Amino acid sequence: MPVEVGKVVEGTVTGITNFGAFVQLPEGKTGLCHISEVADDYVKDISTYLKEQQKVKVKVIAIDPKGKISLSIRKAQPKPPKKTNPKPAAFDWKQREKDRQMSFEDKLLKFFKDSEEKQQQVRKHMKDSRRGNGFNRKGVAR
């Protein structure tokens, strides 16, 4: 089976360098899998992903005129299914209609009331968290 661009073949890692891994392909040809093509994650040390004599599936991504073969391990892996967006949050349409009927001043008062309640919750949380650390306000142990 001749090596062609776009084909996925199985090979054996024959050498590891700091910039990639050499892979022995069928028919005795050798290609290079650059370190950026080993995994989808950042690869600092290729030895953490590959060992010599390890069998790997690679995709042939390029063959230059001189016969150098570029390979990719990450492109040979099946793509994970796309994540679907979860259902949107429930929306209270009745409340929206009520809000539309409110005057601007009423909306502003409601906003200030809600804001003040949230600030009080934050202040209470901050006060409670300061009490539990074993120190008073001046930083002296109790």
| Residue span of the structural domain in which 125 resides | 95-131
Instruction: Name the 3-class secondary structure at 67.
Output: coil
Same domain, 68 and 125: no
In angstroms, the CA 18 to CA 45 distance is: 7
Same domain, 12 and 72: yes
Under DSSP, the state recorded for 141 is B
- pLDDT (tens digit per residue) in 17-36: 999 999 999 888 999 999 99
Same domain, 101 and 63: no
Residue 38: pLDDT band with limits 50, 70, 90: very high
